[in-house]
Amino acid sequence: MAEKEISKAVISRLPRYYRYLGELLEDGVERISSNELSQKMKVTASQIRQDLNNFGGFGQQGYGYNVKYLYTEIAKILGIDRQHNLIIIGAGNLGQAIANYANFEKRGFVIKGMFDINPRLIGLVVRGIEIRGVDDLEQFIVDNNVQIAALTIPKMKAPEIADRLVKAGIKAIWNFAHVDLNTPEDVVVENVHLSESLMRLSYRVSNMQDQKNGVQKKL
């Protein structure tokens, strides 16, 4: 039987479910209905049920969802019930900010190393992680069973480094470089374009302001 294809929209909502369920657990909530969850998620109860039915449902009619069980099951779906070893290529401000974000480890993402070509950065230690030169990049990936690499480097360097990562066995790239990467089908790339996100925010703000002022946008 072929595995069911899950839409990107559904997958994009799963981390939000996980986050809200985690907050409910911290508040001591044991169960919740789809209606109650919809009020927190700003998604309809029907949409929540449809999303979760893609993975088996998890709820009981008249009872709702067991918060701890659903939290655990979504963690399994997202693959964060296991450890993922990660390296950061680019130890500038953004790379160091990622390394300093301790919550990644709570989600199973363990930063094993940081790399840079700047001799002024090589040898520095960020939250217990020494910044290394890129010469031993491939061997480090093998020795530390690294699956994921975060790229926080200029776009002109990103394709070359990405090729080296793929050849070394990296299976996922978290790409902050402003360039689209050409990788094999079995290598997952998650692009994070901060400027594009800010432009989307700008559109929404300006659109709201235009509506308030009675201005109609022209295409």
How much is the pLDDT for 154? 93
Q: Which residues of 111-130 are buried (b: 16+ CB within 10 A; e: fewer)?
A: bbbbbbeeeebbeeebeebe
Tokens of 65: 């969802």
User: Does one domain contain both 20 and 103?
Assistant: no
User: Does one domain contain both 88 and 190?
Assistant: yes
pLDDT at 5 over 90: no
The whole-model pTM stands at: 0.82
Which domain covers residue 176, as residue numbers? 84-195
CATH number for the domain spanning 48: value is: 1.10.10.10
Q: Is residue 219, in this structure, part of any structural domain at all?
A: no
User: Does one domain contain both 127 and 74?
Assistant: no
Q: Is residue 39, in this structure, part of any structural domain at all?
A: yes
Q: How far apart are CA 11 and CA 2, in angstroms?
A: 19
pLDDT digits (tens, 9 = 90+) for 157-168: 999 999 999 999
pLDDT at 1 over 70: no
Q: Is residue 145, in this structure, part of any structural domain at all?
A: yes
What is the mean predicted confidence (pLDDT) over 199-218?
Answer: 80
Domain boundary among 78, 106, 121: 78
pLDDT digits (tens, 9 = 90+) for 147-192: 999 999 999 999 999 999 999 999 999 999 989 999 999 999 999 9
Number of domains in the chain: 2
Q: How far apart are CA 19 and CA 25, in angstroms?
A: 10
User: Does one domain contain both 125 and 71?
Assistant: no
